C-alpha cells in the first residue's frame, strides 16, 4: 500500500507540474564542533561552516540557544582565552539556492537602501548566508568584521570563502527563517522553486479598462510583437471586459461576450502566432444570483441558509465543498489552459478572504474547518489546472497563498515604485512581486521602469499601444527583460507594511488598501543592483529621489580604498573617477531618476556601460577580456537597434581601431576620457568585437 501511494504521489507531481517533495529540514539547532583552532558548524546532516582560527592561542566558545513558539535561535561566541583579537578563515557552503546577504537591519536606518544582486553577491555589506532551499540563515553579529566571497558555484551547491575578525566572533544560526522568524507559515521552499524567469509584457487594463474587444487586442499583439518583443516583452494579458455578465458559471468566462466573435481560443492563437504568451484575467467572484440559488450547496450559507453575499465578491463560493471546486473552479482554468492561455491573473482574492471567509468565520468554525486552508483549496484548484503557467495573485499581499502562486500584487490599483522598498525581501524568494502595471507617462516612465527592472519585479506595461511608437518607449525597451536576481537583504528596508501581516486573519473588508498592503509612501529612494559575471563585477545604483546628495562608496558595499568610475545611463554622461564617494547632482526632470554604473577603476581602457539595458552590460554581454592592449567583447544585439559601447580610456592609451564583422559601423567619438562606439546589425545575433590600443 505504501509503495502504491509513493508511486501515485510521484505521478501526481508530474501531472500537475509540481516537483516531487524534498525531505523537510528540521526546525532544530545546528551542531558545533571545536577542536583546538578548527571549528565546524553543521545542520541537517551537512557542513555549513568549516574554518580555522589563525592565532596560535586557545579558543573558547560560549553558546546560548533556545526555542520560543518554535522560533529557534542559536548563538556561538568564539574568543581567544588571552582576550586578544582573533581571525576565523574558512568556507561556508549551501545549496544552489544559497546566497550572501544581510539579515539584520543596519544600526543607522537612514543610510539604508534597497539591495539586489544578479549573480552571487560580493558586497562588503554582507554578513550572512541564506539558503532558500532549506530556509536557514547563518550570520555574523556586529561588531566583528566580515568578508564573504563566492569561490565556486555548481548545479548542486555554492561555496564561499569567509573571513571574520574581531575581539569576539559571534556566529548566529536561525533555521526556518522566513517560515518561523518572519511568520510566513506556508513558506516551504523545499517543495517549490520561485519563478526565476523574466515576466515582462502588456496588460489591457489601464489602456482600455473594460472596453476591450477582439480588434483592440489584435492590434495590441501586433504592436507589442513589433516594437517590444525584440527587447524582451513576452506576454499579452487581457483584463476585465471579455467575459459574459453576470459572471458565475464556467461558460460565462470561457465563451466570452459578443465583443470577441472569434472566441477565446482563436484569440489565444492569434497572440501566440505573434510569438507572445497569451495571458488572461479572471476572478473568484460569483455574481449570477439565479445560478447561486439554483446550486445553493456550492456556496457558503447565510443565516437563512441562502447563498451568503459579500461586497465585491458576490455569492461566496465554498472551497470546502469538493463539488464547488469541480463544477465552478476547475472547468474555467482547465478550459482556458486547453485553449492555449498560459498566464493567469487571479483577482478578487482579498474579497473572498475578507468579505467571504473571514466575515463568515462561524460557518467554518462550526464545521471544524480551517478557513485559511479552505481559501487555499480554491487556489490549489486553480494551480492544479494551470500547471506550469505563471499564476498571479491579485490584489494586495496574500501571505496565505505562498507556495501556490508565482507572483503577487503587493499593493493596490495603480503603480507605485515606492512599494518595491516594502516587500523586497519577498521578491524572488517567496514569489515575484507585482507593483501593478506601468504607464509610460512623460513624468514617471523612466523612474517606474527603472525601479521595476532593478528589483527583478513583474514588469507589465499598460498603455494604449500607440504609445510604443513614441520616444518615451525608450524607458521600457532599455529596462526589459528583467534579470534573474535575489534580494541581498532578507529584512525589509521599509518594514512599515510587512510587520502588520498578522492582521490578514482579522480583516472583513477589502474596500481599499489595508495597513499591510504595500503603499506609495517610503523614505527610501535608492535601489542598488549588483552585477556579478564571470568577466567582471560592478553595481548599478538607481536614484529615484534626492533624499541624499552624496553617495558614500563604503555605505553601498564598495571598497573605500579603491577608485571607481561613475557613468549615468539615461543621460549617457560620464560623471568622473572618484575615491570614497561622489556627488550625484540634481535629477534631470526628463527622466525623473538617475541610473549610475559604478565600476572599479582598472588603470587601462575598460567598458563602463552599453546602451542596451540599464544593467549597463549585465544583460547582453557574454564575455569581456583585456589583454595585450586589446579589449575584446561578445555582445547579443537586437536587430536594427543602434548599439553603443562606452569605454573609459586613461590618458596613456591611444585608440587605434575597432574591429567587428557582420555589423554596420556607425562611428566612434570621444569626449574627455569617454569613448562611444556605435554599431548596428540588421539581424538579431551575437557578435565579437575588439578595440585595439597603442
Sheet containing 655-660, strands listed edge to edge, beginning at the edge strand earlier in sequence? 621-627, 630-637, 685-693, 655-660
**Residue 209 sits in the same domain as residue 143:** no
**Residue 288 sits in the same domain as residue 414:** yes
**Residue 297 sits in the same domain as residue 336:** yes
Whether residue 595 lies inside any domain: the answer is yes
**Residue 595 sits in the same domain as residue 631:** yes
Domain count, the chain: 3
Whether residue 19 lies inside any domain: the answer is no
- Distance in angstroms (rounded) separating the CA atoms of residues 4 and 397: 39
**Residue 502 sits in the same domain as residue 545:** no
- Distance in angstroms (rounded) separating the CA atoms of residues 688 and 496: 48
Whether residue 192 lies inside any domain: the answer is no
**Residue 340 sits in the same domain as residue 482:** yes
Grid coordinates of 382 = 486553480
**Residue 161 sits in the same domain as residue 221:** no
- Distance in angstroms (rounded) separating the CA atoms of residues 417 and 412: 12
Whether residue 6 lies inside any domain: the answer is no
Measure CA 310 to chain center: 33
**Residue 497 sits in the same domain as residue 535:** no
Sign, Cα dihedral of 410, 411, 417, 421: negative
- Distance in angstroms (rounded) separating the CA atoms of residues 447 and 625: 32
Task: Say what the pLDDT of residue 11 is.
Answer: 33
- Distance in angstroms (rounded) separating the CA atoms of residues 316 and 352: 7
Task: Say what the pLDDT of residue 17 is.
Answer: 41
**Residue 264 sits in the same domain as residue 342:** yes
Whether residue 520 lies inside any domain: the answer is no
**Domain end (from 451, 471, 506):** 506
CATH number of the domain where residue 360 is located: 3.20.20.70
Task: Find residue 53's DSSP bridge partners.
Answer: 88
Task: Say what the pLDDT of residue 458 is.
Answer: 98
**Domain end (from 181, 209, 228):** 181
Average confidence (pLDDT) per 10 residues, the chain, 694 residues: 35 40 90 96 97 88 97 97 93 98 84 95 98 98 97 96 97 98 98 97 97 98 98 98 98 98 98 98 98 98 97 97 98 98 98 98 98 98 98 96 98 90 97 97 97 98 98 98 98 94 94 92 95 97 96 96 98 98 97 98 98 98 97 98 98 97 98 98 98 96
Whether residue 361 lies inside any domain: the answer is yes
Whether residue 21 lies inside any domain: the answer is no
Task: Say what the pLDDT of residue 149 is.
Answer: 98
Whether residue 237 lies inside any domain: the answer is yes
Helices 264-273, 330-339: inter-axial angle, 10-degree rounding: 40
Range of the domain at 318: 200-506
Task: Say what the pLDDT of residue 109 is.
Answer: 64
| Three-state SS at 15 | helix
Grid coordinates of 364 = 467554518
**Residue 323 sits in the same domain as residue 374:** yes
Task: Say what the pLDDT of residue 56 is.
Answer: 76
**Residue 604 sits in the same domain as residue 664:** yes
**Residue 301 sits in the same domain as residue 330:** yes
Helices 214-223, 264-273: inter-axial angle, 10-degree rounding: 10
Amino acid at each position: 500500500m505504501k509503495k502504491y501511494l509513493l508511486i501515485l504521489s510521484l505521478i501526481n507531481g508530474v501531472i500537475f507540474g509540481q516537483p516531487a517533495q524534498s525531505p523537510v529540514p528540521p526546525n532544530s539547532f545546528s551542531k558545533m564542533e571545536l577542536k583546538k583552532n578548527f571549528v565546524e558548524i553543521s545542520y541537517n546532516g551537512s557542513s555549513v561552516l568549516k574554518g580555522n582560527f589563525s592565532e596560535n592561542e586557545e579558543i573558547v566558545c560560549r553558546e546560548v540557544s533556545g526555542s520560543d513558539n518554535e522560533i529557534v535561535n542559536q548563538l556561538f561566541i568564539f574568543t581567544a582565552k588571552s582576550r586578544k583579537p582573533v581571525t576565523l578563515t574558512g568556507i561556508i557552503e549551501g545549496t544552489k539556492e544559497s546566497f550572501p546577504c544581510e539579515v539584520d537591519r543596519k544600526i543607522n536606518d537612514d543610510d539604508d537602501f534597497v539591495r539586489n544582486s544578479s549573480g552571487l553577491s560580493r558586497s562588503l555589506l554582507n554578513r550572512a548566508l541564506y539558503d532558500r532551499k532549506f530556509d536557514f540563515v547563518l550570520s555574523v553579529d556586529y561588531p566583528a568584521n566580515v568578508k564573504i566571497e563566492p569561490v565556486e558555484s555548481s548545479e548542486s551547491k555554492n561555496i564561499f570563502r569567509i573571513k571574520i575578525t574581531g575581539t569576539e566572533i559571534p556566529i548566529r544560526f536561525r533555521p526556518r527563517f522566513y517560515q518561523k522568524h518572519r511568520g510566513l507559515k506556508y513558506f516551504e521552499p523545499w517543495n517549490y522553486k520561485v519563478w526565476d524567469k523574466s515576466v515582462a509584457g502588456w496588460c489591457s487594463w489601464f489602456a482600455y479598462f473594460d472596453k476591450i474587444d477582439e480588434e483592440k487586442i489584435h492590434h495590441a499583439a501586433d504592436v507589442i510583437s513589433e516594437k517590444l518583443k525584440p527587447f524582451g516583452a513576452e506576454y499579452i494579458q487581457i483584463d476585465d471586459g471579455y467575459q459574459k455578465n453576470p459572471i458565475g458559471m464556467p461558460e460565462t468566462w470561457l465563451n466570452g461576450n459578443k465583443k470577441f466573435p472569434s472566441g477565446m481560443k482563436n484569440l489565444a492563437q492569434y497572440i501566440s502566432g505573434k510569438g507572445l504568451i497569451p495571458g488572461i484575467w479572471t476572478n473568484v467572484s460569483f455574481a449570477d444570483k439565479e445560478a447561486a440559488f439554483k446550486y445553493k450547496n456550492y456556496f457558503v450559507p447565510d443565516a437563512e441558509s441562502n447563498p451568503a453575499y459579500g461586497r465585491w465578491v458576490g455569492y461566496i463560493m465554498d472551497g470546502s465543498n469538493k463539488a464547488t471546486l469541480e463544477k465552478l473552479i476547475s472547468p474555467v482554468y482547465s478550459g482556458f489552459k486547453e485553449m492555449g492561455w498560459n498566464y493567469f491573473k487571479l483577482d478578487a482574492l482579498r474579497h473572498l478572504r475578507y468579505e467571504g471567509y473571514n466575515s463568515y468565520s462561524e460557518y467554518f468554525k462550526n464545521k471544524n474547518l480551517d478557513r485559511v486552508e479552505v481559501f487555499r483549496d480554491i487556489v490549489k484548484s486553480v494551480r492544479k489546472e494551470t500547471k506550469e503557467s505563471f499564476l498571479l495573485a491579485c490584489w494586495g499581499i496574500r501571505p496565505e497563498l505562498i507556495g501556490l502562486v508565482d507572483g503577487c500584487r503587493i499593493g493596490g490599483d495603480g503603480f507605485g515604485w515606492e512599494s518595491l522598498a516594502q516587500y523586497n525581501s519577498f521578491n524572488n524568494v517567496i514569489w515575484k512581486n507585482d507593483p501593478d502595471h506601468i504607464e509610460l507617462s512623460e513624468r514617471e516612465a523612466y523612474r517606474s521602469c527603472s525601479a521595476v527592472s532593478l528589483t527583478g519585479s513583474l514588469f507589465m506595461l499598460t498603455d494604449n499601444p500607440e504609445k510604443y511608437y513614441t520616444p518615451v518607449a525608450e524607458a521600457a525597451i532599455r529596462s526589459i527583460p528583467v534579470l534573474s536576481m535575489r534580494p541581498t537583504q532578507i529584512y525589509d528596508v521599509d518594514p512599515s507594511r510587512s510587520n502588520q501581516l498578522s492582521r490578514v486573519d482579522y480583516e472583513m473588508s477589502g474596500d481599499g488598501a489595508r495597513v499591510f498592503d504595500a503603499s506609495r509612501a517610503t523614505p527610501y529612494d535608492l535601489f542598488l543592483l549588483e552585477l556579478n559575471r564571470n568577466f567582471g563585477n560592478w553595481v548599478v545604483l538607481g536614484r529615484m529621489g534626492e533624499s541624499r546628495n552624496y553617495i558614500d562608496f563604503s555605505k553601498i558595499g564598495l571598497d573605500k580604498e579603491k577608485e571607481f568610475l561613475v557613468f549615468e545611463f539615461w543621460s549617457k554622461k560620464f560623471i568622473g573617477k572618484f575615491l570614497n564617494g561622489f556627488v550625484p547632482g540634481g535629477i534631470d526632470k526628463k527622466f525623473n531618476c538617475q541610473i549610475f554604473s559604478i565600476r572599479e577603476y582598472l588603470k587601462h581602457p575598460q567598458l563602463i556601460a552599453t546602451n542596451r539595458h540599464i544593467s549597463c552590460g549585465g544583460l547582453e554581454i557574454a564575455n569581456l577580456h583585456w589583454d595585450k592592449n586589446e579589449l575584446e567583447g561578445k555582445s547579443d544585439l537586437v536587430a536594427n537597434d543602434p548599439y553603443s559601447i562606452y569605454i573609459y580610456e586613461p590618458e596613456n592609451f591611444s585608440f587605434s581601431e575597432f574591429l567587428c564583422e557582420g555589423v554596420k559601423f556607425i562611428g566612434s567619438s570621444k569626449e574627455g576620457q569617454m569613448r562611444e562606439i556605435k554599431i548596428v546589425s540588421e539581424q538579431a545575433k551575437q557578435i565579437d568585437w575588439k578595440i585595439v590600443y597603442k
